[in-house]
Structure 1
Amino acid sequence: MADQEQKFEDKPLRYRGQIGDGASDHMEETSAEIAAPVRLDRGRVRNYDMAETTTGGRGIGFAALILSILSLFVAPILFGAAGIVLGFIARRRGAEGLGNWAIGLGAISIIVGIFIVPFFD
């Protein structure tokens, strides 16, 4: 019976459990995961990024607003749709006020062009 019982200390190192005090019959392997590095300032907005974004959106916002105003007088479907699309792009780039006005005027122009103008021609 003494031959059948093996003490924990008699087993080779690879069979000893590293955690706890029981013997393990299998080998376990752990590894570290490889992940992309985490930016520590991901929630912060830098001043030069914000200024660059607002400036880029402002030009597109004015173009969208001009197209939307032009759509009130000439080709409301074409210029109104272009003004709405550019208005959404301007809002995404930071010029929210100009983008909102362009979207609103373009939508009003399309609605007036489709539903009201045909009755007066």
Structure 2
Amino acid sequence: MADDVNKRDLQDYDGNHYVDPNLGANTDSDYKEETAAEVAAPINYGSTRNFERADIDTESRATGGTGMGWLALALSIISLFVMPVIMGAAGIIIGFIARRRGATGLGAWAIGIGAISIIVGIFILPFF
């Protein structure tokens, strides 16, 4: 029995498991690969776009969209009386452009009035 203990002590050690000299291979596993679990930080693709938008002067954006906002609002109001579908659609499209350029209030009003004009023109005016 003492010989068995000495044999176990004399066996080669490969770092994790003892190698049995009678088998000639690792008794626990035949693979000698190292694995690791590494996680990279997520890439934020929107961060550069946000920095570019922050650099733009907000006052120049608002003044650039104000003219478009007034035009969109005028088209939407006129569409209540003349050609509601065509003028209302034009008011809505230009209203979105105005909102994008910084005139959020005028653009929103133009979009709302244009949508009301189209709804009234399609569903209510045919009955009169």
Q: TM-score range by the shorter chain?
A: 0.5 to 0.7
Q: Verify: 1:58 aligned to 2:66, yes or no.
A: yes
TM-score w.r.t. length of structure 1: 0.62
Unaligned runs of 5+ in 1: 1-37
Distance 1:114 1:51, change over 3 A: same
Higher CA-based Rg: 2
Q: Verify: 1:114 aligned to 2:122, yes or no.
A: yes
Letter in 2 for 1:65: L
1:101 corresponds to which residue? 109
Distance 1:67 1:44, change over 3 A: closer
Residue identity (%)? 64
TM-score w.r.t. length of structure 2: 0.58
- Aligned residue for 2:108, secondary structure, equals helix
- Aligned residue for 2:85, secondary structure, equals helix
Query: What CA distance in whole angstroms lies between the structure 2 residues aligned with 1:42 and 1:116?
Result: 47
Query: What CA distance in whole angstroms lies between the structure 1 residues aligned with 2:123 and 2:97?
Result: 27
- Aligned residue for 1:42, secondary structure, equals helix
